[in-house]
Amino acid sequence: AQVLERAVLEARVREVEEENRQIRLQLSQSQGTAAQLAEGNYEEKNNHTDCPRPPTIQKCELIHVACVCAGHNASRDVVTLVKSVLFHRRNPLHFHFITDTVANRILSSLFRSWMVPSVQVSFYDADELKSEVSWIPNKHYSGIYGLMKLTLTKALPPDLNKVIVLDTDITFATDIAELWGIFRKFTDKQVIGLVENQSDWYLGNLWKNHKPWPALGRGFNTGVILLYLERLRRISWEQMWRLTAERELMSMLSTSLADQDIFNAFIKQNPVLVHQLPCFWNVQLSDHTRSEQCYTEVSDLKVIHWNSPKKLRVKNKHVEFFRNLYLTFLEYDGNLLRRELFGCPSQATSWCLQLQGALEELDEDDQCYDFRRERLTVHRVHLEFLQYEYTPTEDDVTLVAQLSMDRLQMLEAICKHWEGPISLALYLSDAEAQQFLRYAQASEVLKNRKNVGYHIVYKEGQFYPVNLLRNVALKNANTPYTFLTDVDFLPMYGLYDYLR
């Protein structure tokens, strides 16, 4: 019995000793944490942190995003960017678009009909800014609009302090709030945040006699920019970039990479003003890049930048993965992004409130409930989905029709029979809209016609809204007269001239 008692006592002593050891360990850890907090010791050490945590931002803090968008193609591309941002976001957003007349018309109609809660949109006329940059010779395929980001301190409201600036060929793979939070890491002197360029362009070794603009090391890419507007205005940014451009153009004669050349020349002279972002915030998929050095895991990816004229056809070891991510948002149902942000007040327009009130008044037991609800449905509308260029004459007439995906094969025949302007409303899902785009771009008949306006009305609900489709097509015919027809009817050859 004594032996048994002694064994039990020894076991109890060992348990108490183990408990004491655990308590001492926890105490030392908590003291270490307290010391770290007292010293503000959550800064990066040896280029990494033991406990990496993204800079936090307030729950309902408004995030400002700016984008230069001009023409039909860019207006189509920017929708994919917006979808990827909306998919991941948990904060209210304010988009600022610098647009030409075409993009303004398309995007204002799209966002008005999209009705995404906690999203504000402002438009600024690019034509008013052209004189600021038109004196700069530019070889880049983006043309004069590729220089517009230099003018943002002037273009955007004077009370706007910070903004994230994005190219239209960007896809987000994370919450944009993480990027916005990096503003809190800026030192007092830093005014701009950029990712290092991932190609050798600014090293000047791509080909013989290649002479790029001056840059700090590999230079920086301007597809994703954090602009501290308040500080930029304080250091007279407009005057500084102009002086930089004038000085370098004396020897370089023109820019090759638009605003990026001028930003880099400015940073070369003022390196203390730049905050270098981790490269996963702008994984560049252009030719000659080393983007695969930016990531080892899929979770490392934050932003993908298709900065090549080849876009999805660019050569990259992991391009299939990137392409699939891009296609996910390209074909994603935009109606699913009309979700409220939990816990954040939404400033709904009076029209939205009226609509909500009308929906609440509907009686679900009414036999006609589905039809009455459909009448209140607001469909997203993307006007002029493809390039449209036509100046009507005084006696001009537009063929007006509406169709769904199953009537797509009629388009070529109609275009052959009617050489005048056409306004078509297509009732399609997001995925079907991309199928239509591929079909139209591959068709010898359709791709050469610039006087056909294709207006996408996105599917929602179970009915075919024939009246809405007809009205969209009619409203966007820009001639004095219209010829309203059914897509199944082929006009006789010469009818266009006969009706005129």
- Name the more confident of 409 and 375: 409
The verdict on residue 344 lying in a domain is no
| Domain extent for 480 | 381-499
Whose tokens are 């030192």? That residue is: 187
The verdict on residue 462 lying in a domain is yes
- Out of 87-91, 101-105, 368-372, which region has the weakest mean confidence (pLDDT)? 368-372
Tokens of 6: 């002694």
The DSSP bridge partners found for residue 99 are 69, 125
CA–CA separation, 500 and 496 (whole Å) = 6
- Asked whether residue 134 falls in the same domain as residue 266, the answer is yes
CA–CA separation, 421 and 478 (whole Å) = 9
Phi (first) and psi of residue 270, to 5 degrees = -135, 65
CA–CA separation, 413 and 382 (whole Å) = 24
Confidence grade of residue 351 (pLDDT, cut at 50, 70, 90):
low
First to last CA, the chain: 118
The answer, yes or no, to whether residue 35 has pLDDT greater than 50, is: no
C-alpha dist (Å) from residue 61 to 89, 220, 337, 467: 12, 28, 19, 41
Tokens of 42: 């959550």
Query: Degrees (nearest 5) of the Cα angle 314, 164, 221?
Result: 40
The answer, yes or no, to whether residue 490 has pLDDT greater than 80, is: yes
The verdict on residue 353 lying in a domain is no
Question: Are 302 and 172 contacting, i.e. CB atoms less than 8 angstroms apart?
Answer: yes
The verdict on residue 79 lying in a domain is yes
- Asked whether residue 316 falls in the same domain as residue 420, the answer is no
User: How big, in percent rounded to 5, are the helix, strand and coil portions of the chain?
Assistant: 45, 15, 35
* Mean pLDDT of the residues in the chain: 85
Query: Degrees (nearest 5) of the Cα angle 165, 170, 175?
Result: 75
Residue 292, pLDDT score: 65
Tokens of 284: 């560049």
- Asked whether residue 262 falls in the same domain as residue 160, the answer is yes
Whose tokens are 């840059």? That residue is: 215
- Asked whether residue 412 falls in the same domain as residue 322, the answer is no
What is the per-residue DSSP string for 420-451? S-EEEEEEE-HHHHHHHHHHHHH-HHHHT--S
The CA R_g of the chain, rounded to the nearest whole Å, is 29
- Asked whether residue 159 falls in the same domain as residue 280, the answer is yes
What's the average model confidence in pLDDT over 325-335? 92
When mean pLDDT is compared over 248-262, 307-321, 442-456, the highest value belongs to: 442-456
The DSSP bridge partners found for residue 382 are 456
- Name the more confident of 412 and 356: 412
The answer, yes or no, to whether residue 5 has pLDDT greater than 90, is: no
The verdict on residue 84 lying in a domain is yes
Give the number of domains in the chain: 2
Indicate which CATH number applies to the domain containing 187: 3.90.550.10
CA–CA separation, 272 and 268 (whole Å) = 9
Model pTM?
0.83
Confidence grade of residue 34 (pLDDT, cut at 50, 70, 90):
very low
Alpha carbon 235 to chain centroid distance? 29
- Asked whether residue 313 falls in the same domain as residue 186, the answer is yes
Tokens of 418: 């009617």
Say how many C-beta atoms besides its own lie within 10 A of residue 317's C-beta. 8
- Asked whether residue 422 falls in the same domain as residue 310, the answer is no
The per-residue pLDDT for range 291-318, each reduced to its tens digit, is 566 666 656 789 998 876 554 555 556 6
The per-residue pLDDT for range 195-251, each reduced to its tens digit, is 998 887 676 665 566 678 778 888 899 999 999 999 999 999 999 988 988 887 777
- Asked whether residue 326 falls in the same domain as residue 386, the answer is no
Question: Are 71 and 102 contacting, i.e. CB atoms less than 8 angstroms apart?
Answer: yes
The verdict on residue 27 lying in a domain is no
Percentage of the chain surpassing pLDDT 70? 79
> If 0-12 CB within 10 Å is exposed, 13-18 middle and 19+ buried, where does residue 340 land?
exposed
Indicate which CATH number applies to the domain containing 466: 3.40.50
Percentage of the chain surpassing pLDDT 90? 56
Tokens of 499: 């009706």
What sign for the dihedral angle of Cα 315, 320, 322, 325? Answer: positive
CA–CA separation, 93 and 67 (whole Å) = 13
- Asked whether residue 192 falls in the same domain as residue 326, the answer is yes
- Asked whether residue 74 falls in the same domain as residue 163, the answer is yes
The verdict on residue 47 lying in a domain is no
- Name the more confident of 162 and 260: 162
Domain boundary (330, 348, 367) is at 330
Confidence grade of residue 397 (pLDDT, cut at 50, 70, 90):
very high
The verdict on residue 41 lying in a domain is no
- Out of 120-134, 193-207, 263-277, which region has the weakest mean confidence (pLDDT)? 193-207
**Which residue type sits at 275?**
H
Element containing residue 3 per DSSP (H, E): helix 2-38
- Asked whether residue 404 falls in the same domain as residue 308, the answer is no
Say how many C-beta atoms besides its own lie within 10 A of residue 356's C-beta. 12
Helix, strand or coil for residue 377? Answer: coil
Question: b/e string for 224-245 if b means 16 or more Cβ within 10 A?
Answer: bbbbbbebbeeeebeeebbebb
Spatial CA neighbour of 242 closest among 161, 136, 138, 145: 136
C-alpha dist (Å) from residue 254 to 102, 104, 134, 200: 28, 29, 12, 19
Residue 33, pLDDT score: 47
- Out of 229-233, 335-339, 383-387, 424-428, which region has the weakest mean confidence (pLDDT)? 335-339
CA–CA separation, 479 and 390 (whole Å) = 10
The answer, yes or no, to whether residue 252 has pLDDT greater than 80, is: no
- Out of 11-25, 59-73, 215-229, 433-447, which region has the weakest mean confidence (pLDDT)? 11-25
Question: Are 140 and 201 contacting, i.e. CB atoms less than 8 angstroms apart?
Answer: no
- Asked whether residue 435 falls in the same domain as residue 299, the answer is no
User: Angle, nearest 10°, between helix axes 101-114 and 71-88?
Assistant: 30
